[in-house]
Structure 1
């Protein structure tokens, strides 16, 4: 299916609650390519799982230090530390304990995508995830770290016999062109469909999700003042990613 048709079908998936998404009572481990993807894509799920007493874990794959490459005030090591703290603050807003947040610190823009690095990364993720459901950014997301996150999730799930769910973040750009401002052209893309999965009702946890997203202040243009042309989450992006539902699709075998 073409990407826009696939995303329309995702938006038409049935709406349900946590027990419908995870009927076996399992916990979750959310794989986030960068600090903030966990809040943007899965904040509602994490909050619901934590409130229900289910294991709710976050593994941040990259150090996030590439978002402001021209800042002198926040060189890469300082930016890495800032984004790590923002991720911990966001997790707290969602009810996720600090001990349940892990940082694998691969370089931003260089999350392992193939070969032995992918194999090693997948085993590291599996060791940290335990017997939980894995949740990774959908490989349709037009960003190489997000694609790598999906590849790691698929391999880790295969190694551990685990269920894998995909969540769209930047995939929504194919359906909502207003998200594309300042991000460059979208590559043509297709994805195997129709999608299987559901939309999770996160309306009750939306205030928590919004607080979590707000914790990523560096990505909202609120902290780093010497890199005005750097990436920042736009109101259009936030509007799409902070709706009262989140989408989760089953990984094809």
Structure 2
């Protein structure tokens, strides 16, 4: 694994070591992995390949979606917040089923999209997260990158990192980037990290099919909000490569 200090690894991602899932995961059949997604679709974009590979190893994978995702099209009359919330949950469940995760292993917290940051220092949020982690007992947690440009991503990292550190046996934490792929948003690295690429070439087709389930985010399905969010082809191409990037504290 490569240590990254004071530069963006997104400038030359191909220079990072390419590892297999077997190299990264040393869990027995009872091991549990938790994927934390700040919004519905982050899990497929950032970790879709890892999820599929973990399930092919017959490891237990649970997914927690933190926010309701309703800020993507705030002015839509066809999909007002309650309807959009349900739509995005359906998209997540469809995508995750393709990756091998059944609906019973998916939890939607439903925090307000764009406002997760207001909960990050809340003792109630930390306690809720701690209770969730205690019940699930994951050996490994995939979290959004701690310095992702999106505030909901950073807040999700903080909530779960704080809660996991209070567990008797803290799980291994692995971080995945989303919005650092956007040159206009990304920041620079100011600390030493381990970074690598995970080879997902054998499950890339599954990941692409999973991403395609998020029609609300990648197509004109919701066409009555001129200011609605849409993942551009330029951004999407960063998540359709035969590898995914992960980071971890030294």
If the length of structure 2 is used for normalisation, what is the TM-score?
Answer: 0.89
Of the three residues 24, 38, 44, the one matched with 1:39 is 44
Q: CA deviation at 1:7?
A: 3.6
| Paired position in structure 1 for 2:25 | 22
Matching of residue 69 in structure 1 with residue 82 in structure 2: no
Q: Which runs of 5+ in 2 are unaligned?
A: none
Contact 1:48–1:205 (8 Å) recurs in 2: yes
Give the 5 Å matches for 1:209-220: 209-220=207-218
Alignment partners' CA distance in 1, 2:242 and 2:137: 29
Alignment partners' CA distance in 2, 1:7 and 1:117: 36
Q: CA deviation at 1:226?
A: 0.4
| Paired position in structure 2 for 1:168 | 177
4+ residue segments displaced more than 6 Å: none
Evaluate the alpha carbon distance shift between residue 187 and residue 137 of structure 1 in structure 2; reply closer, same or farther with a 3 A threshold: closer
Contact 2:130–2:164 (8 Å) recurs in 1: no
| Paired position in structure 1 for 2:94 | 89
Of stretches 199-208 and 114-123 in structure 1, the one that deviates more from structure 2 is 114-123
| 1:181-234 Cα deviation digits (max 9, x unpaired) | xxxxx37554312x2142110011111000110001100133211013311011
| Paired position in structure 1 for 2:191 | 192
Q: CA deviation at 1:116?
A: 1.4
Root-mean-square deviation over aligned CA pairs: 1.9
Q: CA deviation at 1:9?
A: 6.9
Alignment partners' CA distance in 1, 2:162 and 2:201: 32
Alignment partners' CA distance in 2, 1:244 and 1:213: 14
Q: CA deviation at 1:249?
A: 1.3
Contact 2:99–2:207 (8 Å) recurs in 1: yes
If the length of structure 1 is used for normalisation, what is the TM-score?
Answer: 0.88
Alignment partners' CA distance in 1, 2:65 and 2:105: 11
| Paired position in structure 2 for 1:123 | 130
Contact 1:122–1:155 (8 Å) recurs in 2: no
SS in 1 for 2:229: coil
| Paired position in structure 1 for 2:201 | 203
The structure richer in helix per residue is: 1
Contact 1:43–1:209 (8 Å) recurs in 2: yes
| Paired position in structure 1 for 2:248 | 250
Q: CA deviation at 1:240?
A: 0.7
Alignment partners' CA distance in 2, 1:245 and 1:16: 9
Q: CA deviation at 1:115?
A: 3.2
Q: Paired residues, what number?
A: 240
Alignment partners' CA distance in 2, 1:67 and 1:128: 31
Q: Which runs of 5+ in 1 are unaligned?
A: 181-185
Q: CA deviation at 1:250?
A: 1.3
